[in-house]
A = this chain, B = another copy of it.
Amino acid sequence: MPAKRSPARRPTMKDIARRAGVSESAVSFALNGRPGVSEVTRDRVRRVAEQLGWRPSTAARQLSGEGAATVGLVVARPADTLGVDSFFLQLISGIQEVLAERHLGLLFQVVEDVDAECGVYRRWWAEHRVDGVMVVDPRTDDPRPDLLDELGLPAVVIGGVPDARHPGLSTVWADDAGAMAAVVGQLYALGHRRIVHIAGLPGLAHTERRIRTLRTEAERRGLCEVRSVTTDYSDAEGAAVTRRVLAEDAPPTALVYDNDVMALAGVTAAAELGFAVPADVSVISWEDSALCRMVKPWLSALSRDTVGFGRKAAEELTALLDGGPARTVQVPVPRLIERESTGAALDSQPRPRGSGSAG
């Protein structure tokens, strides 16, 4: 027995029908803009509905065959990893802009891992809760596309690479490979030959793509002291890896971080070891956020329109919901914005100076 404070009762179509002196069906026709009622009646019904503050009950509507008017988004990341970077809230903001227009709700859930995520999809599907979902953090060897196919749940994969095996899924993606190539190109032009890429979570599709591209680009230029190290995206691991690689005999002269948080943690760690940025080591953040302009030196970063990314994804999903075909759309390649943390490489072998002695 739910808490009740005897509030205003919600008006139903029956109320409107009574007040307008027509049948419920007429009200339905009038309100849904379908033929079968005269313009006068339609107007009258509309006015009564508005006056009563009526809104269709999504439950009832759904029960009679329409959708749930809701889309789902589940992110599978531990809580602490989630909070730090600004990506998700930005993305969600963009998604909302589009959904709000169409009066679609967003069902949001955070879970621990992909298995749990699949469980959520199953439940949502069985409970008729959502009409479609947005999938983030696509992985190599990802179980979700197959599942969504099986359930017949319309979905758009955000940040995935186009995948011919799942023609039912839309994909919205940015060309990370192209961006990585540009980064390597620019660092190379600045004279950098030893580059370390502090990557994100190993299973993620875009992580793997960046790693692969880095290797390809390095090989193409004959660089052998170029590599990637995966992390969990946290500031702690970002700092730890930074300390480790800078302590090597021939430390890298450029560091590329897969998010803003690690980049910041990295410059701080580098500074503690006596490495000046960008004099001794250049730093690039893959994510551009307010953070990058809040520290000195300002961080050079790959900038993309995350809000727009979310908007685009939501548009694709609504198109799918309207019965449109699955599509693959590409958003603009992230642009490298050079600020203060990148510069020419030193010719000589850099040696840590100052306080911190590398262990």
- Give residues in A with beta carbon < 8 Å to B: 1-8, 10-11, 53-60, 62-63, 67-68, 70, 79, 82-84, 86, 88-90, 92-94, 96, 100, 103, 105-111, 122-123, 125-129, 131, 149-154, 168, 234-235, 239, 261, 264-265, 268, 271-272, 289-291, 293-296, 307, 320-324
Distance in angstroms from A82 CB to nearest chain B CB is 5
Contacts of A3 in B (CB 8 A): 154, 320-324
Contacts of A58 in B (CB 8 A): 59, 127-129
Known: A2-B321, A8-B152, A109-B105. A127 touches B56 (CB 8 A): yes
B55 contacts A152, C-beta separation under 8 Å: no
A89 contacts B93, C-beta separation under 8 Å: no
Known: A8-B151, A82-B93, A90-B79. A107 touches B70 (CB 8 A): yes
A323 contacts B92, C-beta separation under 8 Å: no
* Alpha-carbon distance A34/B261, docked complex (angstroms): 52
A235 contacts B290, C-beta separation under 8 Å: yes
B89 contacts A168, C-beta separation under 8 Å: no
Distance in angstroms from A318 CB to nearest chain B CB is 11
* Alpha-carbon distance A57/B271, docked complex (angstroms): 57
B307 contacts A294, C-beta separation under 8 Å: no
Contacts of A234 in B (CB 8 A): 290
Distance in angstroms from A159 CB to nearest chain B CB is 17
Contacts of A293 in B (CB 8 A): 235
Distance in angstroms from A107 CB to nearest chain B CB is 5
